[in-house]
């Protein structure tokens, strides 16, 4: 297959379609090139606190650093299929 990866793009959280508590807005920019993924997120919590998250990783199941998140400091991604990614995040090794 050729062309742009279907995961590459800008993704926005839709509060009206979610039961996730504590999130006012969440925009995620994803760039995928082959086996590499780069994720940038801007998250605004319900109380107005902002988080700017950056992840640069590969789809190899190994852990990569998560910068700017209070929820995770490492994440491991695998590519399930062309349209789906599985990720496991950890905070303080858990």
pLDDT of residue 22: 84
In order along its 94 residues, the chain shows pLDDT tens digits of 457 999 999 999 987 888 777 888 999 999 999 999 999 999 998 888 999 999 999 999 999 999 999 889 999 999 999 999 999 999 999 9
pLDDT of residue 19: 78
Rounded Cα distance, 79 and 57, in Å: 12
| Sequence-ordered strand ranges (E) for 1-83 | 9-12, 23-33, 36-45, 50-58, 63-67, 74-81
């Amino acid at each position: 297959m050729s062309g742009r990866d279907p995961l590459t793009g800008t993704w926005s959280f839709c509060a009206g379609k979610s039961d996730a508590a504590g999130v006012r807005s969440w925009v995620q920019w994803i760039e995928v090139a082959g086996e590499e993924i780069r994720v940038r997120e801007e998250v605004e919590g319900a109380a107005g606190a902002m988080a700017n998250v950056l992840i640069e990783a590969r789809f190899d199941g190994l852990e990569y650093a998560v910068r700017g998140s209070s929820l995770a400091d490492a994440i491991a991604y695998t590519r399930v299929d062309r349209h789906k990614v599985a990720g496991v995040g950890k905070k303080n090794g858990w």
